[in-house]
Amino acid sequence: MTPKTIKIGPELFDISFRDPSADGMLNDGNYGYTLDGGNLIVISKAISLPKQRVTLMHEALHAARMIFEKTTPKKDAEYGEWEHHFIGIYENTLVMIIRDNPELIEWLQKP
């Protein structure tokens, strides 16, 4: 069953699979997008199922960054500081996404 929502931390995002001909934001060659203010993730119905799965995870990670990123290193910070910054955003986030969204995980694992 295709997931309808995804819980990311304290937020619930609706997931909409749309035809690119009916959604101008998908007409620019985008496979998907995330609207933070509306808690909405949109995925193109015109791409293959494996690409839909990857795109949904890509957009979920955008949403996670929007929710959990509080500060960023200085622009000229060392590579290691930036690397740990992003790993720090996603380490707990991925555990929460996996734990809180069993239907999503099942959908992602289907052949």
Q: Residue 92's domain is classified under what CATH number?
A: 1.10.10
Of 22, 14, 19, 40, nearest in space to 31 by CA:
19
Query: Domain range for residue 86?
Result: 5-109
Average pLDDT over residues 38-43: 98
- Geometric angle at alpha carbon 91, from 1 and 103, rounded to 5°: 10
Q: What is the pLDDT of residue 78?
A: 96
Per residue in 46-67, pLDDT tens? 999 999 999 999 999 999 999 9
Q: How confident is the model at residue 70 (pLDDT cuts 50, 70, 90)?
A: confident
pLDDT of residue 64: 96
Number of domains in the chain: 1
